[in-house]
A and B are shown apart, each in its own frame.
Chain A
Amino acid sequence: MVTENIRQNTYFILFRIAAFLSVVILLFVLLYVIKEGIGVININFLTSMWSHRDITQGGIFPAIIGTILLAIGVSIISIPLGICTAIYLNEYAKENMFTRTIKLAIRNLAGVPSIVYGIFGMAFFVLFLNLGGSLIAASLTLGCMTLPWIITASEEALKSVPYSFREGSYALGATKWETVRKNVLPHSFSGMITGSILGVSRAMGETAPIIMVGATFFMGYLPTSPFDKFMALPYHLFILATQHSSPSAGEYAMGTALVLIALIFILNLGIFILRYNLRKRKEW
């Protein structure tokens, strides 16, 4: 069957090209940002305040701080809430139509566009609750956006613990909480935490929601209270790329992008290493 073999070989070569094209795209993106942005990276850029008049003199330190503060805020708000909800839904709630609907709804909220969360955050936290454009409003908004991700990731971690562990515990007369605490959580906790941190790292890169809840392009001081406005890397990068008039704006945008990617990458790498080490210790 020569023709069939030829046909197969042709298709398989095309498929191989397609797969590697995807990898090439990734490499291109990373290398391009590195190449274009590395020129502006220096200690000054990373550690000094933004200079409005001459951007080549200033740095993005406040944006870095802003992004980190946001990440911390989002983590505080949504990780405990998300993990506890996942524990309840997976371990305590009865298996019925109602629970299934809720789980389905949560999973699909994760697909709603970030801009929609943004206008919600603006309408609710900034205006209705009168928190104004601020770190706290932004953290709450991004927190709402990250909540479905965290609940879903934690649920997956809990589901991966075999039922037999729980059965063994109940058979010995343990209560539900004792079972969860001693037999389920130790094995799933790392999965839940890494899933959550991954969700937070995605939130760090989001721009649309924070545009309308307190992100600014230039502040002369670092935020000192949760009610302050703040600078953030993605928003900073966006303005530099689209609205800034300085001729070096493009280069600085790339530099900011590089810092943002590096931050996310470091966070992900940390999670990866953590997950690898924890997985090695698992016996099953």
Chain B
Amino acid sequence: MQNPRKFREKIIERSFSSVSAISLLILISIFIFLFITGIKAFTQISLSDFFLGNVWNPTAYGEPTWGILSLIVGTLMIAIGSLIIAIPLGLASAIYLSEIARPEIREIVKPAIEMIAGVPSVVLGLIGIVFLSPLIANIFGLSNGLNALTSSIIVAIMILPTIISISEDVLTSLPKDFREASLALGATKWQMIKMTLLPAGLSGIVAAIMLGLGRAVGETMAVLMVAGNSIAMPASFFDPIRPMTANIAIEINEVVKGSLHYEALFAIGLVLFVMTFAVNLISDIIIERQVRKYKW
């Protein structure tokens, strides 16, 4: 009998689509809520004060100031600092795993690197406080090691698995044809890698780096613990900083709910949301194009 079967199918499909709609609704409402709360801040704070002012002092006795520039600089310093460390290390490891390592070694090293990704950021932050920052303080003769440098190193460790994993996937997905043609012309393996594979896989590798960037921008706990938490504009990597994520975490429990300060923190959250979502989106599109290009 056709009808009961068709009816049941329709119900099942409807159930699935409703459930999906709920998921999607949840995800959309996250953005909407952030937006609504955060945008209210701009009714009282001008955009230029917010983005270009370099003093963040919401609890000032007289006139509170809302400039997040030093916070943005803090975030960017960590992003750049961690990428400077993680890109060469990550790319070199990816090339090793994809082109040089014997399969047996690859089987061990690859999962080991992915396990780093499983270590919670608090734990890495803890190691930063207890081990790395005294070390940095010693080496550079500082009073303490809680600064942009230490944070960059810890965050670099955290984004390393992302960069390695995706770059390696990009390289191994390149077709065999290029390698054969290159070697048949008398190229050494390194010439083949440098002159054929890397240019061909470049956009995918860039995408991997962007994903790493996204994680670096969004990292909260580890930087909260080792960045030093000073809202003054840093002059060098040896200065303490307070990136946007840490700022929210520090102040959110102490604000009066619904106050301008509260809304301003949401505005910062909104900025973070947009930054990370955009970086991830661009990277995703690049990867999709890269994969399509070479899947003959």
Query: Which residues from chain A sit less than 8 Å from chain B, CB to CB?
Result: 1, 4-5, 7-8, 11-12, 14-16, 18-23, 25-27, 29-30, 32-33, 36, 81-82, 84-85, 87-89, 92-93, 102, 104-120, 122-124, 127, 144, 147-148, 151, 175-177, 201-202, 204-208, 211-212, 234, 237-238, 241-242, 250, 253-254, 257, 260-261, 264-265, 268
Contact = CB atoms under 8 A, between A and B. Distances in A.
Interface string B102-140: 000000010011011011111111110111000000000
Given A237-B126, A241-B129, A22 B120 contact: no
A16 B23 contact: no
B218 A207 contact: no
B219 interface: yes
Interface in B79-95: 88-89, 92-93, 95
22 contacts: A1-B188, A8-B188, A15-B95, A18-B93, A21-B93, A25-B116, A26-B115, A32-B127, A33-B126, A88-B17, A88-B20, A93-B17, A111-B211, A111-B279, A114-B220, A119-B34, A120-B33, A147-B23, A175-B5, A202-B118, A238-B221, A241-B122
B23 to A, nearest CB: 4
Given A23-B112, A109-B27, A242 B9 contact: no
Given A108-B284, A111-B218, A116-B34, A238 B122 contact: yes
B89 A112 contact: no
B20 A206 contact: no
B123 A33 contact: yes
A105 B277 CA distance: 9
Contact of A147 (B17, B26, B160, B252): B26
A234 B120 contact: yes
- At the interface, is chain B mostly helix, strand, loop or mixed? helix
Nearest to B123: A257
Given A19-B101, A88-B17, A177-B9, A242 B129 contact: yes
B33 A260 contact: no
8 closest cross-chain pairs (CB), A and B: A205-B120, A113-B218, A18-B92, A8-B190, A111-B280, A88-B16, A19-B93, A15-B96
Interface residues of B, number: 83
A279 B1 CA distance: 38
Contacts of A1: 188
Given A8-B188, A19-B92, A147-B26, A111 B127 contact: no
A257 B27 contact: no
Interface stretch (B44-52, B64-72, B172-180, B265-273): B265-273
Nearest to B120: A205
A110 B30 CA distance: 12
B225 A241 contact: yes
Given A84-B16, A104-B284, A127 B245 contact: no
A260 B118 CA distance: 11
A85 B24 CA distance: 9
Nearest to A204: B120
Contacts of A118: 249, 252
